[in-house]
């Protein structure tokens, strides 16, 4: 950035209380060091202590950056607004707010703030680039809205796609799927090894895979009922394109089969730079045996998230725009949850597995979720809350730290589960230090399966083994090595990372 930060002394240097100023300065430097060490939760706590002593534009803007790093865009937005209130001429306040709005897909609001930055700091190259990116996104949204109107409803790409005519070159060294029946077991293992060695499934077989998978998903309910067998089931959380950690799960827990089924609870893609390999592997097992691989949709199985966090860019780099469009359409066919059915002492027991969380009101029943139109972007209503919400320790409801969905308390969890005769809610959506967390009087579990998230968070990954009685057993694991391609290698340039002060 080109601007200078000279507002701190003006706002916090009170000559009558030098001790407070000294303490705030210490806290600010400690918080900045925590951001540098990627300890963002600690940084937020330190900035909060400083703000309680002497609030100012810089402290709020710095905390907004830390919260952006934790994907808490709702909180980052509020901090940026506070920064602007304290100093309407502080460019980084507008910049932080623009980045938060951009991450939430609110491109028009982001554009206005990037324009404000350029008024305060003319010719800043970073702000100019992000302004242009916002303008491009706004044009894309307008075009998409135009072609999605009732008058001009486009055909599904799946209805017009003919993979039969695509020629597979003799030079292709990967596994081949020429027959019309389901994928064989040997194909699954050959493909995994081919992908492990950074091979790329031929586009003919990838398109065929997407066609077969979508045909299957379109038959399913929004909330799929699954009877857990004697052998049990493994539930995994976010994998976020960490393909080599996905393979490690299979190494530790066994490959998917009819006697070793898996449920992956959304956010297969984005951030990690091997998202194509993750989703191709999961879909391959679906097409081998759909009862050995169950998938739920996450908030990152959506166009806006894919555009920002890398999956769209990765698919276009490894294949082309048409194949990305097929993925985007396929994601809209994914079910929103699974209701696991087991028996404990002869009594029916139910566990609901969904990606995000619960709702902004009581009284929501499974029947209401079954009636939702899931073939769309999850940007409003019950579907957005199901994919975006997070639990909180306090009772009742709170503002979403993400800017979408809500925060819901243990009492909200209890009332929803009791109303639907469900014993336990399992969700993902949040990184946890040990890979999982149990809360809400042991009736809510968060599971997260991307260890050392984005190669920087230092967390463990976890998965849950459920027995036929639906008793959970937790397993944790650390990150394994992967090829030297960093996370976010294909991500949008619209998320800035401005320096701290």
Q: Return d(Cα 11, Cα 60) in angstroms, integer.
A: 12
Pairing of strands 233-236, 262-265: parallel
46 touches 31 (CB < 8 A): yes
Active-site residues, by number, are 300
Q: Return d(Cα 149, Cα 136) in angstroms, integer.
A: 20
191 touches 281 (CB < 8 A): yes
Give me the phi and psi of 88, to 5 degrees please.
-65, -5
| Chain centre distance of CA 427 | 12
User: What DSSP string runs through 122-146?
Assistant: TT-HHHHHHHHHHHHHHHHHHHHHH
- Sheet arrangement for strand 390-391: 390-391, 406-408, 397-399
8 touches 90 (CB < 8 A): no
Query: How far from 11 is each of 32, 54, 385, 490, CA to CA, in Å?
Result: 18, 8, 39, 40
- Partners of 474 in the beta sheet? 464
Give me the phi and psi of 475, to 5 degrees please.
-130, 135
270 touches 310 (CB < 8 A): yes
Look up residue 446 and give its two tokens.
């968060």
Q: Return d(Cα 158, Cα 212) in angstroms, integer.
A: 10
Look up residue 111 and give its two tokens.
């554009």
Give me the phi and psi of 399, to 5 degrees please.
-70, 140
- Residue in this structure with the two tokens 């499974």, named with its chain if needed: 366
3-state secondary structure of 436: strand
Cβ burial 423-437 (10 Å sphere, 16+ → b, else e): bbbbbbbbbbeebbe
Q: Return d(Cα 381, Cα 397) in angstroms, integer.
A: 16
Taking residue 299's Cβ as centre, other Cβ atoms within 10 Å add up to: 25
Rounded (10°) angle between helices 185-196 and 243-253 = 130
Q: Which helix (H) or strand (E) holds 418?
A: helix 410-419
- Residue in this structure with the two tokens 């809350």, named with its chain if needed: 385
3-state secondary structure of 466: strand
Q: Return d(Cα 470, Cα 349) in angstroms, integer.
A: 7
């Amino acid at each position: 950035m080109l601007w200078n930060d000279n507002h701190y002394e003006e706002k916090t240097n009170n000559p009558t209380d030098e001790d407070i100023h000294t303490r705030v300065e210490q806290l600010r430097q400690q918080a900045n060091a925590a951001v540098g060490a990627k300890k963002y939760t600690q940084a937020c706590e330190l900035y909060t202590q400083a703000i309680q002593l002497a609030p100012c534009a810089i402290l709020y803007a710095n905390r907004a950056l830390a919260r952006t790093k934790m994907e808490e865009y709702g909180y980052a937005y509020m901090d940026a607004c506070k920064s602007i209130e304290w100093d309407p001429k502080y460019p980084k306040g507008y910049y932080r707010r623009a980045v938060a709005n951009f991450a939430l897909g609110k491109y028009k609001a982001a554009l206005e703030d990037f324009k404000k930055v350029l008024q305060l700091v003319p010719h800043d190259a970073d702000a100019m680039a992000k302004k242009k990116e916002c303008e491009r996104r706004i044009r894309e949204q307008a075009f998409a809205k135009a072609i999605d109107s009732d008058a001009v409803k486009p055909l599904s790409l799946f209805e017009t796609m003919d993979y039969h005519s695509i020629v597979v070159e003799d030079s292709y060294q990967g596994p081949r799927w020429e027959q019309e029946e389901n994928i064989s077991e040997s194909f699954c293992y050959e493909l995994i090894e081919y992908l492990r060695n950074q091979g790329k499934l031929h586009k003919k077989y990838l398109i065929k895979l997407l066609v077969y998978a979508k045909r299957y998903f379109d038959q399913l309910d929004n909330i799929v009922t699954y009877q857990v067998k004697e052998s049990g089931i493994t539930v995994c959380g976010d994998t976020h394109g960490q393909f080599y950690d996905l393979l490690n799960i299979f190494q530790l827990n066994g490959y998917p089969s009819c006697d070793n089924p898996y449920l992956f609870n959304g956010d297969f893609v984005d951030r990690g730079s091997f998202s194509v390999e993750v989703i191709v592997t999961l879909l391959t097992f679906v097409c081998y045996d759909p009862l050995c691989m169950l998938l739920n949709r996450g908030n990152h199985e959506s166009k806006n998230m894919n555009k920002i966090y890398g999956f769209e860019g990765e698919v276009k780099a490894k294949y082309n725009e048409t194949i990305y469009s097929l993925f985007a359409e396929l994601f809209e066919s994914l079910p929103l949850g699974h209701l696991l059915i087991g028996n404990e002492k002869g009594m029916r027991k139910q566990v609901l597995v969904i990606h995000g969380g619960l709702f902004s009101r009581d009284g929501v029943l499974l029947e209401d979720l079954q009636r939702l139109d899931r073939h769309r972007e999850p940007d409003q209503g019950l579907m957005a809350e199901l994919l975006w919400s997070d639990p909180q320790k306090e009772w009742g409801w709170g503002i979403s730290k993400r800017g979408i969905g809500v925060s819901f308390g243990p009492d909200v969890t209890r009332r929803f589960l009791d109303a639907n005769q469900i014993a336990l809610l399992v969700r993902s959506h949040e990184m946890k230090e040990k890979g999982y967390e149990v809360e809400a009087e042991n009736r809510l579990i968060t599971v997260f399966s991307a260890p050392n998230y984005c190669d920087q968070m230092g967390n463990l990954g976890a998965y849950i083994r459920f027995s036929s009685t639906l008793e959970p057993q937790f397993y944790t694991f650390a990150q394994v090595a992967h090829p030297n391609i960093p996370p976010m290698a294909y991500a949008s340039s619209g998320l800035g990372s401005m320096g701290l002060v």
